[in-house]
Amino acid sequence: MSNCAADTLSNAAESLKSGALVAFPTETVYGLGADASNEKAVARIYEVKGRPQDHPLILHIASMNDISYWAEDISDYAIGLARTFWPGPMMLIFKRSDAAKDFVTGGQDTVGLRVPDHSLALGLLQECKKIGVLAIAAPSANRFGHVSPTTAVAVQEEIGSYFSAQDLILDGGAAQVGLESTIIDCTGDAPRILRPGAITQAMIEEVTGLKVSESSESTIRVSGSLEKHYAPNAQVLLDFQATAGQGFIALADVATPIGAIRLASPQTTDEYARVLYSALRDGDAQGLKTIAVIQPSGDGLAIAIRDRLMRASKGR
């Protein structure tokens, strides 16, 4: 890392410590960060996002050694998952410790933790730790219910107008994964997926040797599982051949219907995840009323893509 980047990170850590908000890149999507122990700073996250107060925030930590500061009753299988997939696109939910206050957990008795896999995010977390900021609370850096930002420009467009002069956006390029982390409830005898992501059920079962309960809408209690979520302004139609003037997103081998406006042509499922949110934003920027999307088939990351698209299609 250059000295310039190191300076930027220590300044950003100081900003967090003084109560400012810092939006930062992760490998999944950009997060809107605040010092997880600072009630006033955390309250501003809810203001800027327009998010209901009882929705818990995910805490980003520098390493798995920090789990025990924020959480209790840590099972062996959770340790195995953290060791294997962190830093990475996976959030683990534990029983909270006394350090995780109501203002950050939305009053729940659990806390969600993640070590992100991005050099700027990890550098920021390390700088924070040096000055006593032990976790960064950070939801995705979008207005509530809207598409998560995968670039610094998208963060600026989403929430820049709600920022005050002390707040910062760190630019770490386009997010590599492009979809939010897999959320795994680790409070039971076996892991339970609450939000599908790049760490898949098969990967979790292989590492833990346990049968993972399937995520099902009725059991999910996270805001990202609300029906209307991850939604652009345009109406999203699933598995529908676009007509002239409508936006169109599909794998590269699907031809563009005549007159439709192609917003993305990913070659693979991974690329589909990476470009999906910027394609939806692009459709909004072009003022399109409708975006037709041909969903990817198969399992793995395709499950997470279909999960987000299903919610995006419910409208805002």
Contacting positions for ligand TXA (CB under 6 A): 26, 28-29, 31, 55-58, 91, 93, 105, 108, 110-112, 114, 116, 138-140, 180-181, 183, 221-224
Shortest approach of Mg ion to residue 139 CB, angstroms? 5
Q: Does 215 bind Mg ion (CB under 5 A)?
A: no
- Which of 58/280 has CB closer to ligand TXA? 58
Binding track over 168-207 against Mg ion, x by CB under 5 A = ----------------------------------------
- Which of 9/21 has CB closer to Mg ion? 21
Stretch that binds Mg ion, among 115-123, 132-140, 199-207, 308-316 (CB under 5 A): 132-140
Say which entry of ligand TXA, Mg ion, none residue 33 contacts (CB below 5 to 8 A, set by partner kind).
none
Residue 314 CA: distances (Å) to CA of 222, 226, 259: 17, 10, 25
List strands edge to edge, sheet with 290-293.
235-238, 290-293, 247-249, 261-264
d(CA 263, CA 244) in angstroms, rounded, equals 13
Shortest approach of Mg ion to residue 29 CB, angstroms? 7
Shortest approach of ligand TXA to residue 123 CB, angstroms? 16
Q: Return the DSSP state at 225.
A: G
With beta carbons less than 8 A apart as the criterion, state whether 250 and 281 touch: no
Q: Does 140 bind Mg ion (CB under 5 A)?
A: yes
- Which of 113/292 has CB closer to ligand TXA? 113
One-letter amino acid of 276: L
- Which of 90/292 has CB closer to ligand TXA? 90
- Which of 262/316 has CB closer to ligand TXA? 316
- Which of 31/172 has CB closer to ligand TXA? 31
Say which entry of ligand TXA, Mg ion, none residue 114 contacts (CB below 5 to 8 A, set by partner kind).
ligand TXA
If you search the block for the tokens 């025990």, which residue do you land on?
Answer: 68
d(CA 269, CA 200) in angstroms, rounded, equals 13
Shortest approach of ligand TXA to residue 197 CB, angstroms? 7
d(CA 285, CA 151) in angstroms, rounded, equals 15
With beta carbons less than 8 A apart as the criterion, state whether 184 and 194 touch: yes
Count CB atoms within 10 A of the CB of residue 160. Answer: 16
Q: Return the DSSP state at 264.
A: E
- Which of 123/149 has CB closer to Mg ion? 149
Shortest approach of Mg ion to residue 42 CB, angstroms? 15
Say which entry of Mg ion, ligand TXA, none residue 191 contacts (CB below 5 to 8 A, set by partner kind).
none
d(CA 293, CA 266) in angstroms, rounded, equals 12
Nearest to 91 by CA among 169, 173, 185, 204: 185
Pair type for strands 90-96 and 110-114:
antiparallel
In the complex, the residues that contact Mg ion under the rule CB under 5 A are 140
